[in-house]
Amino acid sequence: MEIRTTDLYYAAALMANGAVLSKTDKSDSRHMRFYITIPTGSKCDAEELESQWANSTLMVNAALFRDSIQRLKAIIHSE
């Protein structure tokens, strides 16, 4: 399953929970779109992650979250 978002922190939270950044799109000069893929067979459930994110109950590993934010920011500033 692929999730598309412009929310840097949501994308980073998904990545910290095992999702993979598949591509980015900056065709809109105001927003970077992140395409995040949930690997097949992963214990990540996209709908559950989205629900937890919306309800502010999503738990992530802080170090992985920080690393994901840094990686996404590097991509933003390189394009």
pLDDT (tens digit, 9 = 90+) per residue, 14-48?
Answer: 999 999 999 999 888 888 999 999 888 777 788 88
Largest CA distance in the chain: 35
Write down the domain spans for the chain: 2-78
Q: Provide φ and ψ at 21, rounded to 5°.
A: -70, 115
Share of the chain above pLDDT 70, in %: 97
